[in-house]
Amino acid sequence: MTGGKWIRVSRRNPCGICEKPDWCAQGEKGWCCMRISSGHPMKNGGFFHSFANEPPGIIWEPRQVEPPPAPPDFGGLMSRWRSESRSGGLQSMSGHLGLSEQALDWIGAAWAEDRKAMAFPMHDGTSPDASAPCGIRLRTLEGRKFAVTGSRSGVFFPYGAMKIIRCDRIFICEGPTDTAACLQMGLFAIGRASCRGGEDIVHFVLSQLCPDECVVVSDNDGPGFAGANALMERLETRRTRIVPPGKDLRVFLRDGGNREIMDAILKNVLWKSI
């Protein structure tokens, strides 16, 4: 292009020629407009409009491209919400989800009163403790799931259970509540944000924990199988895939599931990879 460094236009900084927020760009000496011809075609299909050719009396001032907003202090948010949850919020979450307060506390859960939602921190595995989550997943009492703006997907990690439950075998679940259900059964678990994605973070976390075996917990449906298979291919340690009875691990626990039944399922599982 002519004109040196180029900056893409946006809604805040539209094109000075066609006044549209897309396709065009602003350079050091003029505009590259993709819609209005100037007689000076450019290699990208647009047209160069020099600032020097603007009508007399118009003084061009470079548009300041605002940097993206800084991500929120996820650690500070979770710390505040967890402090406020001690007055009964975690107990209410426990009753609503059918999970123990301890299991929820292990994954750092809290009630976010100002969001009217349950909050679950996500981690990328680079922090030695729970103080620096990379994002926060929110879930209303009606079941709507969303995240704090600026969040990056990570894993739900039980920092609170590190010294309590052995992690020589690690269960990899989908979502925070299945992770908490697994922990409640006395099984060390981490959770993915969804059935797909997050393979690199899971792989990194496992490389730090060095378990003897991993158990990928899959939902009994197509997306669940596909996501579990993709993760199995990414892992390097001994791994097994299981599909627990019921809709998910939380329902399995509610219906009487326990560690002994999980051990029996693992002894008879057909999908293993060494």
Query: What does the radius of gyration of the chain's CA atoms come to, in whole angstroms?
Result: 26
Domains and CATH numbers, the chain: 1-67 (no CATH), 74-273 (3.40.1360.10)
Which SS3 state, helix, strand or coil, does residue 161 take? helix
pLDDT on residue 54 = 56
Residue 122 CB neighbour total at 10 angstroms? 27
Residues 6 or more apart whose CB falls under 8 angstroms from that of 31 comprise: 15, 16, 17, 24, 25, 48, 49, 51
Instruction: Tell me how far apart the alpha carbons of residues 160 and 110 are, in angstroms, rounded to a whole number.
Output: 13
First to last CA, the chain: 54
pLDDT on residue 114 = 94
| Token representation of residue 272 | 């293993």
Residue spans of the chain under pLDDT 70: 1-4, 53-68, 270-274
